[in-house]
A and B are shown apart, each in its own frame.
Chain A
Amino acid sequence: MNCEVCQLKELELEQFEIREVLRCILHTILFHRALGLVRPKDVDLELFDITYAQCGEDELEKKVDDKIEQFMSWVEKHPNKKSQICLSFYEVKNKHASWFSNKIERLYWEQWYINLNVTQHPKAHSNKSHHSKVADPGEGVLEDRKARSAVLESSLREVLFQIIKFVDEKKDHVPPIPSLERVITFPFEITIPSSSDSAFGMDMIKRMLQTGHPTMLS
């Protein structure tokens, strides 16, 4: 089975925007891949004038939020860095029981790369360290922020459209829907940059051991 890969357009955003943006993107993808009986839930973003659909599964929501939190803490430690989050869908196949008898193989059939460029702008910084200064940011700063926010909003919209188009164009690789009555029809995983950045090599090995599939390293 071929694995389709979608590289989403890079988004430049500030730290406080990460949560909403990631939620929006991840849920939009998952909504397109949760092919069980779904009762969609509309969510309006707070920072942007965008509405996205969510599957309305608590479990799924929690999984996404947990990953986002992990990513946020990674970003805290690694500011001003481009980063990539990968959402992969796979099928589980029992490997031929010869060498590693109990090993379960994951067959990845689709991967989505969310590319983020988390930046720190002066305002955001002062916001955090000097609370008293929040009230009087220069007008230029405000304008600047507004403009950046508008840019991010339209880029985010583009990314969402990118997802829709990808889903629309590529349908053949999606495995048949299992007859199980589950909303999340296909297992997935969300990979974030590892927290142990220094031990990158170690992480790679770990991941290889877990998945037996090194292609997802970026």
Chain B
Amino acid sequence: MASLQNNAHPEPAKMEQIINEFFAKSLHIILESRSLYVSSRNSSCDPTVTSPSSSSSSSPSIRSRNKWFNLALRECPAALENTDLWRQSNLDPIVVDVILMKRQGPASLSPIKDFGRWNADEEEMGVEAKSEKIVERWVLQYESRKAKDSNSSSRRSSNNSCSLYKKLILLLRSLYASVRLLPAHKIFRDLNSSGQVLTFTLFHRVSSFAEPFNRKEDAEMLKFGFTPVDTSCGRLCLSVKYRPSVSDVSSESSTPISPRLITDYIGSPLTEPLRRYPSSGLPSHGSPSSLPFSRRHSWSFDRCRASPPSIVSSPSPTHSEPRTSVSNVGSRRFPPSSLPPHPPEMSIGQKNKTFDEYYPSPIMSPSPSPSPPIYSHGFLLSRALKRSESAPVNIPTANVANCPKNAHRHDLLPSPSRTDRGLNMIQYGATAEKLSSLGRDESKRSSGLTASHALPQISFSRCSSRSYQDDSEDHDFTCPFDVDDVDMIDPSSRPGALDHVHMGEMLETGGLYPIRLSQDAAVGALVHMLKKAPPLRQDSCTSEEFSEGATPQTYSINTREDTQIQESPILSSMTSSGFLTRRTTAEALEEFQGYKEMKNSLLMPGSKPCS
């Protein structure tokens, strides 16, 4: 407004500026309530972001831009980025497609926003995923009048910049209200409510031209055209085509999940239907911009933690994220091959590390988003829930498929990846609070032992979550979320040592096996894993050495002999005792000492013939 009252600029320049800003503002209004990247709803939960001007992060230019048309909006990175792109394009039309996508599609989708490019990609997408649907198409364009009648009409419409500005204010108010009334807004709302896990998502494409709808689509869409606003040399047109009903999609797939379900998720058949939820594969679905807010939090965590070098500092994470993760995935991809099972020690060591080093710090820090913690809580709980729910089915395979890769990687990378650590942590969180204290009790040898008992379950829950994810994608996206799940662990439970008796009970009742496998099958899986396990190094009883033993180096150095000899005791003790008949530190220690002697005696005669 200020610029309008300033008469230093000639009228045409003012006009052009107004038109430019109108495009920008319109785009902002539309994307603000369609782009899930930054949701106004979520940010409104955060008192610091309730009003755009209160956000200290915004630069003055953004703030003053925000006053245009007397409509101050929340910041919307997606809009900002697209606006900046558009500004270079000299009054091209803006076409915004709002697309509803079901999540069971293939993994390689990514929203294309680069101007002029999306046609080609659109074709690709059309082939790969049939489950996306344009629910809204906004078309914003400036029709310039032909030179010959421009004079007369400009005089007739007597448009001075003030009257134009007023009309555009009114138009934008209407746009603002109607964006909230259209059916797509309901989807946006649903996706933003934390209590729901949805199988669909929204994303948008901003382009400079529209790919025409086919006849069927066209028939399904309703059109609402705002009255064009005349300017001195043309007119501004804004229209929307929208699907009058999107309820078929949004209603069928919403499943309210309440975080409190976590208490009885173990082995509950009730929760099983959720296992198939393709939404777990969602990060790969190309539109992180359309991810629920809370999840993005995890994403950023992932980026900061797991792959700092590959972070793309684009203003729109929409684009950078998929790529980041993909580049990231190279080291984290777990092909479902039959590699040797995950050595138990690895996890134990990681657990110890996890709690000692990483538990307190990383929880929320790297998120640039104003995501309220409570959101992520609920959400992550539900993630954990899903993960564990999925456990029942394909434990052994998944276990074999995924876990070994960890070990593999650890051989290559001396320091265990954080994502893996986080993974273990979530498993704790998801399993039971008691488990979370496992890693804590380092001074006792038995903690390691107990941890290895818990391990099968731990590996299962994690691997199984991968297992169905693998169906739709190759990337290991589980980990980043898990890291956040640290939140879930009640800090108060940390220092407490594991209640062994209780553990035993849980095991006996199948509590730790959320699995409907038979006990025998579970034992079998465990045995299989233990067979491949590296030694526990019972000659070192101190915690340092124990955790040292968990490092990859140690693992790889271990001789075969050691492995074979040392694993047998554990194995036998577990299989014969049904895991946990004697579970005190003393007993374990005693047992191990016995086996140590046995090993020594075995090694002695064995070495003699050789030498």
Interface residues in A, total, Cβ within 8 A? 29
**Are A37's CB and B167's CB within 8 A?**
no
**Are B227's CB and A174's CB within 8 A?**
no
Separation in Å of the B163 CB from the closest CB of chain A?
8
**Are A31's CB and B177's CB within 8 A?**
yes
CB contacts under 8 Å to B, within A160-214, are 160-161, 163-164, 167-169, 171, 174, 176-177, 179
Cα separation A31 to B178 with both chains bound (whole Å): 12
**Are A28's CB and B177's CB within 8 A?**
yes
Within the complex, which residue of B162, B174, B227 is in contact with A32, where a contact is CB–CB below 8 Å?
A: B174
Interfacial chain B residues near A152, Cβ < 8 Å: none
Indicate if A44 sits at the interface (CB-CB under 8 A): yes
Within the complex, which residue of B71, B166, B177 is in contact with A171, where a contact is CB–CB below 8 Å?
A: B166
Cα separation A45 to B173 with both chains bound (whole Å): 19
Residue among A28, A32, A40, A163 with max Cβ neighbours from chain B (10 Å): A40
Interfacial chain B residues near A37, Cβ < 8 Å: 67, 70-72
What 1/0 flags go to A9-49 for Cβ under 8 Å of B?
00000000000000000001001100111111010100001
**Are B171's CB and A177's CB within 8 A?**
no
**Are A32's CB and B166's CB within 8 A?**
no
Within the complex, which residue of A28, A40, A42 is in contact with B71, where a contact is CB–CB below 8 Å?
A: A40
CB contacts under 8 Å to A, within B39-82, are 40-41, 44, 51-53, 67, 70-73
Indicate if B186 sits at the interface (CB-CB under 8 A): yes
**Are B181's CB and A42's CB within 8 A?**
no
Indicate if A74 sits at the interface (CB-CB under 8 A): no
Interfacial chain B residues near A51, Cβ < 8 Å: 180-181, 185, 189
Residue among A31, A160, A171, A177 with max Cβ neighbours from chain B (10 Å): A171
Within the complex, which residue of B52, B163, B181 is in contact with A157, where a contact is CB–CB below 8 Å?
A: B181
**Are A32's CB and B173's CB within 8 A?**
yes
Residue among B41, B163, B170, B185 with max Cβ neighbours from chain A (10 Å): B170
**Are A32's CB and B170's CB within 8 A?**
yes
User: Closest B-chain residue to A51, C-beta based?
Assistant: B180
**Are B171's CB and A168's CB within 8 A?**
yes
The A contact surface, by secondary structure, is mixed
**Are B162's CB and A176's CB within 8 A?**
yes
Indicate if B226 sits at the interface (CB-CB under 8 A): yes
**Are A35's CB and B70's CB within 8 A?**
yes
Indicate if A109 sits at the interface (CB-CB under 8 A): no
Q: Decide: A177 near B40, CB < 8 A? Known: A36-B70, A38-B72, A53-B180.
A: no
**Are A176's CB and B166's CB within 8 A?**
yes
**Are B186's CB and A49's CB within 8 A?**
yes
Interfacial chain A residues near B177, Cβ < 8 Å: 28, 31-32, 52-53, 160, 163-164
**Are A168's CB and B227's CB within 8 A?**
yes
**Are A167's CB and B180's CB within 8 A?**
no
Indicate if B176 sits at the interface (CB-CB under 8 A): yes
Indicate if B5 sits at the interface (CB-CB under 8 A): yes
Cα separation A37 to B51 with both chains bound (whole Å): 12
Cα separation A31 to B404 with both chains bound (whole Å): 60
Q: Decide: A169 near B227, CB < 8 A? Known: A31-B173, A37-B70, A164-B178.
A: yes
Q: Can you identify 24 A-B contacts, CB atoms within 8 angstroms? A: A32-B170, A35-B70, A35-B173, A37-B67, A37-B71, A37-B72, A38-B70, A39-B53, A40-B73, A42-B41, A44-B189, A50-B181, A51-B181, A51-B189, A52-B180, A161-B181, A163-B177, A164-B174, A168-B227, A171-B166, A171-B167, A176-B163, A177-B70, A179-B5
Q: Which B residues form the contact surface with A (CB < 8 A)?
A: 5, 40-41, 44, 51-53, 67, 70-73, 162-163, 166-167, 169-171, 173-174, 176-178, 180-181, 185-186, 189, 226-227, 229
Q: Top 9 closest A-B pairs, CB basis?
A: A51-B180, A37-B70, A39-B72, A168-B174, A32-B173, A164-B174, A171-B167, A39-B51, A164-B178
Q: Which A residues form the contact surface with B (CB < 8 A)?
A: 28, 31-32, 35-40, 42, 44, 49-53, 157, 160-161, 163-164, 167-169, 171, 174, 176-177, 179
Known: A39-B52, A169-B227, A171-B167. 18 other contacts (CB 8 A): A32-B170, A32-B174, A32-B177, A35-B169, A35-B173, A38-B70, A44-B189, A50-B181, A51-B181, A51-B189, A53-B180, A161-B178, A164-B174, A167-B173, A168-B171, A168-B227, A176-B163, A176-B166
